[in-house]
Amino acid sequence: MSKAFLDTTILTDLLLKPGPSATAAKAAVARFTTTQLPVYAIREFKGGPLANFVWFHNKVVQTSYEDALASLQALSRTLRRYMTSTAIEALRFCAFSTQRERLGELTSRYGEKAQMTSVLRDQYRLALKTAILKAWKKRRSVAAEVVEPLACYREVEPKQVKDLLDLKPTKCFPERECCLAVRMRASIDQLQKLKEATDAQAPNNERIRRSRALGHFLRVPKRPVSESLCRDLGDAMFAFLAPADATILTTNLKDHGPLAEALGKRAEKP
């Protein structure tokens, strides 16, 4: 029996990236007899990809669509996560673009509701809102079972506050320390291997954070494990939590591969 352990990238492809990415992820999932989704992936998904969608939705609500796109370009530069010009151009896509003349005719009857700026803004606002709510609703149905519940994390659904969407809380709220701390202390040798695997890779922001978190834990394992330390472990947590007989399914094999290998586990791309 084959078992897939889904990471956040697969969850994201399935829920937020319709088209080739979702199709590839679905096909990959279908190759396994059973699939497991850890709650840690849901937590990461909500705090990352889904939060990006909510950020853009709220920008569209509060500004014009053109201004929202300008904010997106600026943020993309700041984060050094350049969206390709093709992607930005794609976002300029408008289902009405071929029907501008028809809209002109409708303006006399529907006023503002038929004006291009209003139509475009509402088209993206509604597409984003639907995508966000749909992704949240379907999150637990992408795998055969949801595993590794986190006692300090609550899956609170997105709320609408006025016209804006609010995802909070996106973080865990541990009482004294992270609910995984006891298991981590019982597996010091595994965490040591994960740190070695992380340090063997070329450093980037994510790996530096992960190495620092692992190093901190290994130096003072008795110190309470904070929410931010658990969060910084990121991909290492999937290698740590995945059952020995499971394959970690991810689009980020570059990071997951060495981590899984360090613990004698497997990682695979769709």
Partner 1 sequence: MMTFPGTNGDPTRDLTQESAGPPIEVEALRLRPLPVVVRDTSDVPPKRFAVVTHFSSLEEKPSRTATVEDIYPRLMEEASVLRTAIALLGEAEQRADAAVAAIGDDDLVAADIELQHLQAVLPELFCCRSLGDGFGSIVNGIQIAFANQRGLLFNSEQVGAIARAVRRLQHEPFLSIDQAVDIVAALEDVDIIVEPPGLGELADLGNEQSLS
Q: Kindly report the number of other CB atoms within 10 A of residue 194's CB atom.
A: 26
CA proximity to 230, closest of 163, 131, 157, 148: 148
Stretch in the footprint of partner 1 (CB under 8 A) among 17-25, 146-154, 214-222, 242-250: 17-25
Min dist. Cβ of residue 59 to partner 1 (A): 11
**List of long-range contacts for 154-158, beta carbons under 8 Å, 24+ apart:** 155/39, 155/42, 155/46, 158/50, 158/54, 158/132, 158/133
Q: What is the dihedral of CA 11, 13, 15, 18, to 10 degrees?
A: -170
Q: Which of residues 40-79 bind partner 1 (CB under 8 A)?
A: 44, 47-49, 51-53, 55-56, 72, 75-76, 79
**List of long-range contacts for 91-99, beta carbons under 8 Å, 24+ apart:** 94/120, 94/123, 95/123, 96/120, 96/123
Residues in the interface with partner 1 (CB under 8 A) total 59
Binding of partner 1 by 253 (CB under 8 A): no
Binding of partner 1 by 83 (CB under 8 A): yes
Min dist. Cβ of residue 99 to partner 1 (A): 5
* Chain-centroid distance, C-alpha 54: 12
Binding of partner 1 by 232 (CB under 8 A): yes
Stretch in the footprint of partner 1 (CB under 8 A) among 33-41, 134-142, 195-203, 238-246: 134-142
Q: Cα(195)–Cα(187) distance, rounded to whole angstroms?
A: 13
**In this complex, which beta carbon is closest to partner 1, that of residue 194 or of residue 230?**
230
Q: Cα(33)–Cα(3) distance, rounded to whole angstroms?
A: 6
Among 99, 156, 168, 243, binds partner 1 (CB under 8 A): 99
Min dist. Cβ of residue 90 to partner 1 (A): 3
Min dist. Cβ of residue 65 to partner 1 (A): 11
Plot region of 264 (φ>0 → left; ψ -120 to 50 → alpha; else → beta): left
Give backbone dihedrals phi and psi of 4, rounded to 5 degrees, phi first: -105, 140
Binding of partner 1 by 5 (CB under 8 A): no
Binding of partner 1 by 88 (CB under 8 A): yes
Binding of partner 1 by 216 (CB under 8 A): no
Stretch in the footprint of partner 1 (CB under 8 A) among 31-39, 111-119, 176-184, 255-263: 111-119
For the chain, how far is it from start to end, CA to CA, in angstroms? 18
Stretch in the footprint of partner 1 (CB under 8 A) among 29-37, 125-133, 178-186, 215-223: 125-133
